[in-house]
């Protein structure tokens, strides 16, 4: 991700917050930018280390609170299977269900969105009398680029 596009994302996020009346504070913006400048997923404590370079007083709670806010706004997704966080590039599009493709080789994370997929899951759940409030779909494997580099593995 380039610096310019992270600025663009930030501007978009600011818009969303303004519209919703959510407080996009300094810490939250800082963490947002750290995430936006990351390729792939980042752990909370990696973010903390980076945040500390700007704000040496930062503590775990600082990061977790910011991540909490950013997740709630839909700016960031938590990747449950690797306890990491990734910037979402489709926020504002409402509260979308997410499917993630996580490359175990290069660490890149691709976000795909398929309403069909969401519907399929919901209808299967429905058949069991189950009502879904939140879904986690994370696929691990090798991305296009890594497949091209070492296709036989």
Partner DNA sequence: TTTTAACTTTTATAATATAACGACAATATC
Partner DNA sequence: GATATTGTCGTTATATTATAAAAGTTAAAA
Positions in the binding site for DNA (CB under 7 A): 21-23, 25-28, 43-45, 55, 57-62, 64-66, 69, 78, 83
| Binding to a second copy, residues 77-106 (CB under 8 A) | 80-81, 99, 101, 103-104
Beta-carbon contacts of 92 under 8 Å, excluding residues fewer than 6 positions away, are 12, 15, 16, 74
CB of 49 to DNA, least distance (A): 10
- Closest to a second copy by CB, 4 or 152: 152
134 binds a second copy (CB under 8 A): yes
Compute CA distances 74 → 12, 16, 30, 56, 144, whole Å. 12, 10, 16, 27, 26
Pick from a second copy, DNA, none: which does 43 bind, CB < 5 to 8 A by kind?
DNA
Kindly state the tokens that stand for 108: 């890149």
Beta-carbon contacts of 101 under 8 Å, excluding residues fewer than 6 positions away, are 109, 110, 111, 112, 139, 141, 143
Judged by phi (left if over 0) then psi (alpha if -120 to 50, else beta), residue 19 lies in: alpha
Q: Which stretch binds a second copy (CB under 8 A): 1-9, 17-25, 69-77, 131-139?
A: 131-139
CB of 149 to DNA, least distance (A): 25
Beta-carbon contacts of 142 under 8 Å, excluding residues fewer than 6 positions away, are 103, 104, 105, 153
- Contact predicate 86/40, CB 8 Å: yes
Q: Which stretch binds a second copy (CB under 8 A): 4-12, 13-21, 33-41, 137-145?
A: 137-145
Number of residues that bind a second copy (CB under 8 A): 34
72 binds a second copy (CB under 8 A): no
In the complex, the residues that contact a second copy under the rule CB under 8 A are 80-81, 99, 101, 103-104, 110, 112, 114, 116-117, 120-121, 124-125, 128-144, 147-148
């Amino acid at each position: 991700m380039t610096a310019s596009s992270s600025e663009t994302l930030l501007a978009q996020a600011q818009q969303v917050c303004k519209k919703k009346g959510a407080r996009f504070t300094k810490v939250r913006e800082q963490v947002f930018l750290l995430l936006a400048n990351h390729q792939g997923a980042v752990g909370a404590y990696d973010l903390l280390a980076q945040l500390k370079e700007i704000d040496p007083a930062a503590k775990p709670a600082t990061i977790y609170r910011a991540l909490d806010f950013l997740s709630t706004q839909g700016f960031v997704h938590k990747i449950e299977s690797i306890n990491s966080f990734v910037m979402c590039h489709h926020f504002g599009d409402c509260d979308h269900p997410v499917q993630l493709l996580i490359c175990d080789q290069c660490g890149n994370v691709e976000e795909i969105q398929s309403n069909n997929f969401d519907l399929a899951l919901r209808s299967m759940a429905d058949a069991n009398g189950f009502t879904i409030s939140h879904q986690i779909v994370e696929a691990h494997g090798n991305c296009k680029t890594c497949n091209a580099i070492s296709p036989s593995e």
